Amino acid sequence: MRESYKNVAAMLADLKPIDPVYCVYPHVYCATAEEFLAGFPGRVLYAIKANNEPKVLQALLDAGIEHIDCASLQEIREVRALSQDVVCYFMNPVRLRGAARTAQQEFGVNHFVVDHAAGLKLLLNEIDAKRSVIFVRLAVHHKSARVDLSSKFGASAEDTLTLLQAVADSGAEPALAFNVGSQVMSPDAYVHSIETAIGVLERLPFKLRLIDIGGGYAKAYPGFAAPPMSDYFAAIVKAAHFSLLDNGELMAEPGRALAAPGCSAIAEVLLRKDNKLYLNDGLYGVFWELRYDAHDRYPARAWHNAKPLNGPTQPFQLLGPTCDSDDKLPGLVELPVDIQIGDYIEFGSIGAYSLGGRCDFNGFYSNLVFNITDPDSLPPG
Ligand SMILES: *Cc1c(COP(=O)(O)O)cnc(C)c1O
């Protein structure tokens, strides 16, 4: 099976694909990772749940990402299949029975997270505390987070202090983690959460080495503005006056910010009815995130006979191929008025929360993934 094409035109000319095709642009992943690694004042963990496609993971590893935030043993296995050197962190307070033990014994994982005394007890039954770092996850809230992750995980300030002491007593190294949310629209949310965390740590009788401030860095989409990454970094640098041990380090867990830009999805137009275009991919496929209330479309460009289709445009409604009447993309997308059956639409900025959530509902599923090798070739958007 072929792994790559020079560009999308070459792929379309060669394959005229019947199934949706997902394109990975490694040079875009490289630029995105370099920006984050250069800008964030600390250790950068890629949150693999945003996109666990091996070509995406490989592109990020090649770009210099050396730490991966995993939530399951399976994600740890997927990382280990590509690299023995990368450091995996098991950052889910809820794990399958035995998963932490296997992670440590077979895969060398030594970083874990808890947010409850019962969870700490379960974890300590499975791991060797002496060689482990256990993060306590503090609940933080901010109105600008589109998704408030603290509604599910995170301990109160009081419980966090008690848990940090219990971790220290177990012989493991205590550390602090929190997660502001996802699609956090305001860098102030990080300032607010960091100040909350500093307030909690002032009441702790010992110092910590590691503070993990989580993910959530927002990504812009058409009709959905987001601040540049540099605004987040500036806010974090200004606020993060933690009193840490001498070798202290800040950590971040970006998922979307690293995963989104370097991927495109290419769908065929199966049927056109006026301004309605029926595609071979939909809300049960790569577009599943559009079911949730955040952005409503991706940047798009049209292809005809393996060449870009230009000319005057109009807004189109896009519909998936399944028989579920809700399988419609929420936002209207501007495309050439001449677009017709058999043409393709390439959607950009679709690397985050896309490939990882598609399913085979109604019999539609594609796993055609190619690298695009021409560094001058860029996804739409
Ligand atoms: C989902 C998640 C992330 C990544 O979130 P993004 O919004 O994609 O940056 C990071 N850390 C944890 C614990 C998560 O659950």
Domain endpoint, select from 240, 259, 278: 259
- Judge whether residue 141 has pLDDT over 90: no
Ligand 1 binding residues, C-beta < 6 A: 47, 49-50, 69, 91, 149, 179, 182, 214-217, 253-257
Looking at the domain assignment, is residue 309 inside a domain? yes
Looking at the domain assignment, is residue 379 inside a domain? no
For the chain, what is the mean pLDDT? 96
Domain that holds residue 340: 4-23+262-372
Looking at the domain assignment, is residue 86 inside a domain? yes
Domain endpoint, select from 259, 283, 299: 259
On whether both 93 and 184 belong to a single domain, the answer is yes
Please count the structural domains in the chain.
Answer: 2
Indicate which atom in ligand 1 lies nearest the CA of residue 149.
15
On whether both 312 and 253 belong to a single domain, the answer is no
The 3 state secondary structure assigned to the chain is CCCEECCHHHHHHHHCCCCCEEEECHHHHHHHHHHHHHHCCCEEEEEHHHCCCHHHHHHHHHCCCCEEEECCHHHHHHHHCCCCCCEEEECCCCCCCCHHHHHHHHHCCCEEEECCHHHHHHHHHHCCHHHCEEEEEECCCCCCEEECHHHCCCECHHHHHHHHHHHHHHCCEEEEEECCCEEECCCHHHHHHHHHHHHHHCCCCCCCCEEECCCCECCCECCECCCCHHHHHHHHHHHCCCCCCCCCEEEECCCHHHHCCCEEEEEEEEEEECCEEEECCCCCCCCHHHHCCCCCCCCEEEEECCEEECCCEEEEEEECCCCCCCCECCCCEEEECCCCCCCEEEECCCCCCCHHHCCCHHHCCCCEEEEECCCCCCCCC
Write the pLDDT tens digit of every residue in 336-378: 999 999 999 999 999 999 999 999 999 999 999 999 999 999 9
CATH code for the domain of 158? 3.20.20.10
Indicate which atom in ligand 1 lies nearest the CA of residue 177.
13
Band of pLDDT at residue 28, cut at 50, 70 and 90: very high
Q: Distance from the CA of 81 to the center of ligand 1, in angstroms?
A: 22
Band of pLDDT at residue 260, cut at 50, 70 and 90: very high
On whether both 319 and 243 belong to a single domain, the answer is no
Q: How high is the pLDDT of residue 147?
A: 64
Q: Distance from the CA of 119 to the center of ligand 1, in angstroms?
A: 20
Mutate to test the pocket of ligand 1, among 45, 136, 253 (most ligand atoms within 8 A of CB): 253
Q: Distance from the CA of 253 to the center of ligand 1, in angstroms?
A: 6
Q: Bigger pLDDT: 298 or 181?
A: 298
Write the pLDDT tens digit of every residue in 61-90: 999 999 999 999 999 999 999 999 999 999
On whether both 117 and 210 belong to a single domain, the answer is yes
Mutate to test the pocket of ligand 1, among 46, 49, 140, 236 (most ligand atoms within 8 A of CB): 49
pTM assigned to the model:
0.97
Q: Distance from the CA of 286 to the center of ligand 1, in angstroms?
A: 19
Domain endpoint, select from 229, 259, 289: 259
Write the pLDDT tens digit of every residue in 184-233: 889 999 999 999 999 999 999 999 999 999 999 999 999 999 999 999 99
Q: How high is the pLDDT of residue 181?
A: 84
Q: Distance from the CA of 354 to the center of ligand 1, in angstroms?
A: 14
On whether both 211 and 292 belong to a single domain, the answer is no
